[in-house]
Structure 1
């Protein structure tokens, strides 16, 4: 399942950014966001999850991207539990905060497509507006349930379900395998 080539990339980057900047649990272990240069590299890698052209952000951009990722998490959490009212509210807060303006852009031999950037004083990275629009487009479509939070115990990472049947429940195969192994062990104990 794909939204469209550009939207896919921005939504995937938003999920990866949320996971980098959110403290909590990942794959059964506590997770703390990295700091300093490691944070810059991790945010750059998250943005490249959606666009191979993305670069590591400058220090001034990191602070803005931390804020974008933290705000975007609310969209995934609300969509995961089917609360489209709350998901729409969170997406609307992103749109209000980053005030995206559409602009046709062409680069890297791609066809013309829309980019959404907000004022540079609010988000010098330019990603906040695009992520706000991308998440709002998903929430405003029949595909809002494609945004989720991992169902595995001790994991709160988010994901975008691009599977054909839309039944993904875990952030990764590692979490899916942990849950399957635990269920298998429980069945063996019961027998």
Structure 2
């Protein structure tokens, strides 16, 4: 029997934000295109866009954006380790993040007057708070047997990360664009081998 496990909305938000930050701030390749980490105002804009959500639109300072970008580098290594099947290394990295951010659970009042569990650093500054949240989200994913749903894109010339929110847990690509690129290349390869390549 297959058991469908899913992220709760808060963990999903933390991991999705982590994916957004890692993909926006990490050097590498995105579908064959080189990615250079943003700097200056572009860095601040990229961080603000990555954390933006309904009812939450913040403008971090450049120093705050730089501090969060440094933590994002560690988060990327967690995705890479999980993709390689090395959960032990991923767990060690997340434990380092938890210690460095001093992530602390706290019940915050939500919009409906109820409470939800959030993680904060020792202060509520933008970068410390988000760094603690990223670490806690990754810890809850790995500790909740959902680490296998985090990975790096399987497409050639792409190293962007993803969270698999599908029911069947079959995601392998960071985007539909990369998935289509791989499918098109496989189709052309099969067509060449059978001599029926489109002209």
Q: TM-score range by the shorter chain?
A: over 0.9
Superposed CA RMSD in Å reads 1.7
State the shift of 1:111 in Å.
2.9
Q: Equivalents in 2 of 1:158, 1:54: separation in Å? A: 24
Counterpart in 2 of 1:34? 38
For structure 2, the 5+ residue unaligned runs are 195-199
**Contact map agreement 2:101 2:128 (CA 8 A) in 1:** no
The alignment's TM-score, normalised by the length of structure 1, stands at: 0.93
Could you list the per-position Cα deviations for residues 93-149 of structure 1 after superposition, in whole angstroms to 9, with x for gaps in the alignment?
110110111111113336311111113499745101111011011111221100000
Count of residues in correspondence between the two structures = 189
State the shift of 1:54 in Å.
4.1
Match of 2:155 among 137, 152, 155: 152
Q: Equivalents in 2 of 1:60, 1:35: separation in Å? A: 11
The alpha-carbon distance between structure 1 residues 88 and 10, as it changes in their structure 2 partners (threshold 3 A), is: same
**Contact map agreement 1:45 1:56 (CA 8 A) in 2:** no
- Asked if 1:82 is matched to 2:95, the reply is no
Larger Cα-atom Rg: 2
- Asked if 1:61 is matched to 2:64, the reply is yes
**Contact map agreement 1:170 1:176 (CA 8 A) in 2:** yes
Could you list the per-position Cα deviations for residues 9-28 of structure 1 after superposition, in whole angstroms to 9, with x for gaps in the alignment?
01100111111111000011
For structure 1, the 5+ residue unaligned runs are none
- Asked if 1:95 is matched to 2:104, the reply is no
**Contact map agreement 2:43 2:62 (CA 8 A) in 1:** no
Counterpart in 1 of 2:129? 126
3-state SS of paired residue (2:151): strand
3-state SS of paired residue (2:41): helix
The alignment's TM-score, normalised by the length of structure 2, stands at: 0.89
The alpha-carbon distance between structure 1 residues 121 and 63, as it changes in their structure 2 partners (threshold 3 A), is: farther
